[in-house]
Structure 1
Amino acid sequence: MAEFDWKTRFGPLLDQLSDDGLDAWAQTLRQQLTRRFDDNPHGDLDRWQAALARLPDMAGVEAHLDRSAVTLTSPHALTPEQQEHLQQGLRGLMPWRKGPFEFFGTRIDTEWRSDWKWDRVSPYLSDLSGRRILDVGCGSGYHCWRMLGKGAGRVIGIDPGLLFMFQFLSIKDYLGNVPVDLLPVRMEDLPADLETFDTTFSMGVLYHRRSPLDHLLELKGTLRKGGELVLETLVVEGPEGYSLMPRDRYGQMRNVWFLPSCDTLLRWLDRTGYRNARVVDVSATKTEEQRSTDWMRFNSLQDFLDPDDPSKTVEGYPGPLRATIIAEKP
């Protein structure tokens, strides 16, 4: 199997960044991608590339980005051989956690119903038409595609998970030169004070950060003046000033650090220099929204809750409650 050619994959985006006056970021990305793919390649890289290569070539592919499942269609029916290759390729990219997606009639029922989160968030967004958007912790890029469907001018998702990147490419390779890209980098890999994005999304990231205030400052640094932050995170009920720091795990996750009350989160945003911060949605996460499926066969939310009291985690903490906050950079 040939090596993953990151220069071909990311070259157009790097050139575009340079053309947009972000040459310093483009140069930094080239160095980071060289280290990621050339100096220390992931052991599953060839396997994922082989799965991607199994996906059948299709003519006249169209993307439907305004549906609950990001959907690819073609005017041509798949042959039995193409159907078999499609299944082999998509199943070779399991587990699928964020979605759903549909490839030419094959629906990928992902662990998360990410469309539910989008439906909660999208009514409160500014008009995304023509906007340059950053999606931090984007997973397989489901929300990136929904942003493009809302008219975004350029969407860049970042997530260090390489399997997520290949899942994203399973869509993009059918669509060609569309203004959506996924970079396999971390938030801390971005240059400080980019100040280039009109909207930055951080959904499901803040509680994984040891220093949530630093994360808020990093997010603010990505935004132009007047830019919009869309923040979604786990919260707990409580007064201003209260936050929960789990002793060890929360819902079997080790990397959960701070779950603030909504009023505490608003204070954090105020102290880190945002304005007009407002809570637009608070929703409990139920097992209908996050669960094991045929496309993600590992443990999921039903295994992380107390079987005798599903309002609590197995550790005895309040069950997952998620808030969405929108704020602006002055």
Structure 2
Amino acid sequence: MAFRLASLEQPITTLDQAALYQQMASYGAAPWLALLPQQMAQGLDTQRHADLKGWARVLHKLPTITDAQIQLDQETVRIFHPDIDAGTRAKIAGLLKQLMPWRKGPFEVHQTLIDTEWRSDWKWQRLAPHIQPLQGRKVLDVGCGNGYHCWRMAGAGAQWVVGIDPSPRFYMQFQAIRHFIGDADAYRVHHIPVGLEALPPELACFDTCFSMGVLYHRPSPIDHLWQLKGTLRPGGELILETLVIDGDENQVLVPEGRYAKMPNVWFLPSVAALSLWLRKCGFTQVRCLDVSTTSVQEQRATEWMTYQSLQDFLDPADTSRTCEGLPAPKRAIFSAIRAS
């Protein structure tokens, strides 16, 4: 079945969604399957999201190219066919630019490099050597954006990857990339336009759950950790990446106003404090895998994301501080195991 947008004659994507339904039933996610049709209808409601119709028209104009080479295990998610003519390449680039801004990547689609705001491959390089191998695992990516990391998870051998993010623009960007990757490689990778709260509690069917760049946007971070735990089977691994500050287990920054010009930042814990939170929520083997200060080379404005970026969020006289005078963005990656 193909999900359709209201008032559109053509489906939002021509890709068959039967695989997602079958996989949910087979992989222990049947309680979610019962909710999915309504969730998709709400997430892709053109009355709520007026831009969806235009983005859908972009998808419908994308050329169908078969027998492409697909590369999911390198820094750039790459789709390539040697015989694409210049006119087709120009059409692809023009259509993909209509889905801007592109924030996570990079992607290369038939010689068009989508140079995204984030060098998301750097984050992947920091975590990949330290987590349990994804080969054969069922994986959930919470706050997946346009799905860049979902494709990297598939490239690492994951059996089933489900990304969730409520942004309809990110959903459409994912569908554009999936269109070119095609069913043969993409049948096990899916994007659902919902937030974590839409999942049934204690679904407990995923082997690995990623939450990267989400925790600090949640007004109740402990609830977020409990919800993440509920997605995992006992013994499953959580990979959590978030903004942190320096300090002991009692140190937490709660910005009164904006943080790095973001209005929706609630809690920035220290590494020690977040480790404690994870243990209190029932995780074991809590490890901090990496702590890195975000650089203007990793997050920056590009041709594919032309708005303000990290350089504009820092104090120009002291880049160790944000423009609000708070500690500049520093990110930590954690691994933790669901005990029971």
Query: Same fold by TM (over 0.5)?
Result: yes
- The Cα shift of 1:59 comes to 2.4
Q: Any gaps of 5 or more consecutive residues in structure 2?
A: 1-7
- 2:151 is aligned to 145
3-state SS of paired residue (2:336):
strand
- 2:53 is aligned to 46
- The Cα shift of 1:80 comes to 2.8
- The Cα shift of 1:3 comes to 5.2
The alpha-carbon distance between structure 1 residues 6 and 42, as it changes in their structure 2 partners (threshold 3 A), is farther
Tell me which of 316, 325, 331 is aligned to 1:316: 325
- The Cα shift of 1:22 comes to 2.8
Q: In the TM superposition, what whole-angstrom CA distance separates every residue of 1:181-217 from its partner, at most 9, and x where no partner exists?
A: 0100001011100000000000000000001010000
State how 1:213-252 maps to structure 2 within 5 Å: 213-252=222-261
Question: Residues of 2 paired with 1:37 and 1:56: CA distance?
Answer: 23
- 1:189 is aligned to 198
Q: Which amino acid aligns with 2:62?
A: L
Native 8 Å contact 1:4 1:45 kept in 2: no
Question: Residues of 2 paired with 1:211 and 1:306: CA distance?
Answer: 29
Tell me which of 129, 152, 157 is aligned to 1:123: 129
Question: Residues of 2 paired with 1:112 and 1:125: CA distance?
Answer: 22
The alignment's TM-score, normalised by the length of structure 1, stands at 0.96
1:272 paired to 2:278: no
- The Cα shift of 1:173 comes to 1.3
- The Cα shift of 1:314 comes to 0.4
Q: Percent identity?
A: 48
- The Cα shift of 1:7 comes to 9.7
1:74 paired to 2:81: yes
Structure 1 stretch displaced more, 58-67 or 192-201: 58-67
The alpha-carbon distance between structure 1 residues 30 and 20, as it changes in their structure 2 partners (threshold 3 A), is same
Q: Which amino acid aligns with 2:321?
A: K
3-state SS of paired residue (2:243):
strand
Question: Residues of 2 paired with 1:10 and 1:318: CA distance?
Answer: 45
- The Cα shift of 1:106 comes to 1.1
State how 1:102-117 maps to structure 2 within 5 Å: 102-117=108-123
- The Cα shift of 1:66 comes to 1.6
3-state SS of paired residue (2:44):
helix
Question: Residues of 2 paired with 1:21 and 1:278: CA distance?
Answer: 28
Q: Any gaps of 5 or more consecutive residues in structure 1?
A: none
- The Cα shift of 1:38 comes to 4.9
The alignment's TM-score, normalised by the length of structure 2, stands at 0.93
Question: Residues of 2 paired with 1:260 and 1:20: CA distance?
Answer: 34
The alpha-carbon distance between structure 1 residues 171 and 204, as it changes in their structure 2 partners (threshold 3 A), is same
Q: Which amino acid aligns with 1:172?
A: R
Native 8 Å contact 2:117 2:299 kept in 1: yes
The alpha-carbon distance between structure 1 residues 272 and 111, as it changes in their structure 2 partners (threshold 3 A), is same
Q: Which amino acid aligns with 1:91?
A: K
Native 8 Å contact 2:296 2:310 kept in 1: yes
Question: Residues of 1 paired with 2:36 and 2:248: CA distance?
Answer: 42
Structure 1 stretch displaced more, 78-87 or 148-157: 78-87
1:55 paired to 2:62: yes
RMSD: 1.6
